[in-house]
Amino acid sequence: MEIRPEAADEADVVADVLLAAFGAEERVVVDLVAALRASSAYRRELALVALDAGAVVGHVMVSRGWVDSPDRLVEVGVLSPLSVRPDRQGEGIGTALLARALAEAQQTSWPLVVLEGAPRYYGARGFERADRFGLLRPSPRIPAPAF
């Protein structure tokens, strides 16, 4: 397996992985990735694909966001989304993508990376609830354990 930054011409292949992983009714995730790519939050080196035998089997993106601290806005990384084709889940591809994305994010000036995701999955990989560090959820629709 190879993990590398996504190529500009891989948007459709990545969209297929996203739709397979999240479900065809979750087109909003594909739209989110497209919107992030078109924004100033996008960091090409932090949009990664996992390939096996030349085929994209997984994807992760870390984009730029901000936390409103008491004295200033702090630039942070926002990990979203992480996806692996359903027929390849459970093989460690998501964990490898996550590890690589975090290693790349450490090369930035960001003091932290936040995400919204499954507490069991991300907790097993070292993430902790943000509210334990005084960070508030960006939306009440996000369950506290998932941020």
Domains of the chain in start order, with CATH, are 2-115 (3.40.630.30)
Distance spanning both ends of the chain, measured CA to CA: 30
pLDDT at 19: 97
Instruction: Let me know how long the chain is.
Output: 147
Helix (H, G, I), strand (E, B) or coil at 120: helix
Q: What is the pTM of this model?
A: 0.93
Confidence check: pLDDT of 26 > 90: no
User: For 61-112, what is each residue's pLDDT tens digit?
Assistant: 999 999 998 899 999 999 999 999 999 999 999 999 999 999 999 999 999 9
Give the tokens for residue 67. Answer: 């936390």
pLDDT at 40: 96
